[in-house]
Homo-oligomer: A and B are copies of this chain.
Amino acid sequence: MTAKPATHNLGLLPEGLSDRLPPQAEASARLVRDVLDTVAAHGYARVMPPLAEFEETLTARLQSAGAEDLLRAIDPVSQRTLALRPDMTAQVGRIAATRLAKAIRPLRLCYAGPVLKLRADQLRPEREEMQLGAELIGTDSVAAATEVVTVAIEALQAAGVEGITIDFNLPDLVDQLAAGPLPLDAELIAPVRARLDAKDAGGLVALGGKAAAYLPLIEATGPFHAAMERLEAIDAALGDKGVLASRIAALRAIAKPIDWDITLTLDPTERHGFEYHSWFGFSIFAAGFVGEIGRGGSYAIMHGDGREEPAMGFSLYPDPLIDVGFGREAARFLFLPPGHDADQAKGLRGQGWRTVAALDEADDGRALGCTHWLDVAGPVAY
């Protein structure tokens, strides 16, 4: 073999960064558009934060593990470290706390764009993914939670997503119970949460102290109505009409307007992915894909003066759905032979046809993927 320039490698992309080709790229763009159209119709105004920020600005607002997950670049202009955004929610929070700090509340904002992670996670090899969502800033009330969950479901349905499951969570429930009716020594709170998260009943009992009192929460998991009844039984046994009763009432209110064709589940002590949520969280699943395609809940936005502002929102990560074939539309492609009538072709595009014009006598409409060709009288199927 003779030495060849290494140009055959010039098609290689870094791990987790890939091209999306026509059917998937179009399905992805269509899904983003349909979701944002619904969100916009509910009064959420679009914002577009930049792809990169100063690392310190971004990490100041990234919660939990986010800050370790940044792809960094040195900016020769500022001589400072930039980070590519791994998440847009933190950026929307920054906008709400700075340039839109004085905008009247509740403030409704929405967004869509690519985000970049340093490393892929176990479930997905992709490091770049599409994120889109909506944030309701200035309140984390039950009414706000109801709106956010309702809008998320309506948007996904408008985009054609089927078999939607919403899993409700109460991220701070253990903290609240430990501070109230089910007291726990401070050093036991984290282990109790971890055992509950893992549904590890044996491990929970083995922790000793009053950890065993949390055992019934493991059972209050699964299909929404049965799990809620178990949660109500726990509440009745507590005899304390405080935090748990109010959370039960909130979940009932949020679930009430949701259509019967949505599957609801409850996992009150699930923590994974809700580390920065306050009282309410939810995960979104769809038929045809095992992992979650989105999540949301209540959180706080930090202002420059130290004030924390309540907020509620959801984010969707629809790429896995697209990858498993969601949303591929069978388009009608119409071949326009040489000498076709340009006005007739324009009229047909107005009716939804996608036209492919011959540039050369040799162009073959069928080979170019067209389903029809334009005869004088109109489109004819191949």
Residues of chain A touching chain B, judged by Cβ–Cβ distance below 8 Å, are: 5, 7-22, 25-26, 28-29, 33, 36, 40-43, 45-54, 56-57, 60-61, 71-78, 80, 82, 84, 91, 94-95, 97-100, 104, 106, 108-109, 113-114, 116, 118-119, 127-128, 136, 139, 141, 143-144, 147, 257, 302, 304-306, 333, 342, 349, 353-357, 359-360, 363-364, 367-369
Q: Considering only CB atoms, which chain B residue lies closest to A126 in the complex?
A: B50
Pairwise interchain contact A22-B45, C-beta atoms closer than 8 A: yes
Pairwise interchain contact A141-B359, C-beta atoms closer than 8 A: yes
Pairwise interchain contact A10-B94, C-beta atoms closer than 8 A: yes
A363 neighbours in B (Cβ, 8 Å): 106
Contact of A357 among B15, B75, B78, B147 (CB under 8 A): B147
A359 neighbours in B (Cβ, 8 Å): 106, 136, 139, 141, 143-144, 147
In the complex, what distance in Å separates the CA atom of A60 from the CA atom of B8?
Answer: 12
A141 neighbours in B (Cβ, 8 Å): 359-360
Determine how close the nearest CB of chain B comes to the CB of A303; give it in whole angstroms: 8
A56 neighbours in B (Cβ, 8 Å): 10
Q: List 15 A-B contacts (CB under 8 A).
A: A5-B306, A11-B99, A14-B52, A14-B80, A19-B47, A20-B48, A25-B46, A28-B48, A33-B33, A42-B349, A43-B333, A43-B368, A104-B364, A106-B359, A143-B360
Pairwise interchain contact B11-A97, C-beta atoms closer than 8 A: yes
Contact of A104 among B21, B108, B367 (CB under 8 A): B367
Pairwise interchain contact B21-A75, C-beta atoms closer than 8 A: no
A364 neighbours in B (Cβ, 8 Å): 104
In the complex, what distance in Å separates the CA atom of A54 from the CA atom of B9?
Answer: 11
Q: Considering only CB atoms, which chain B residue lies closest to A112 in the complex?
A: B29
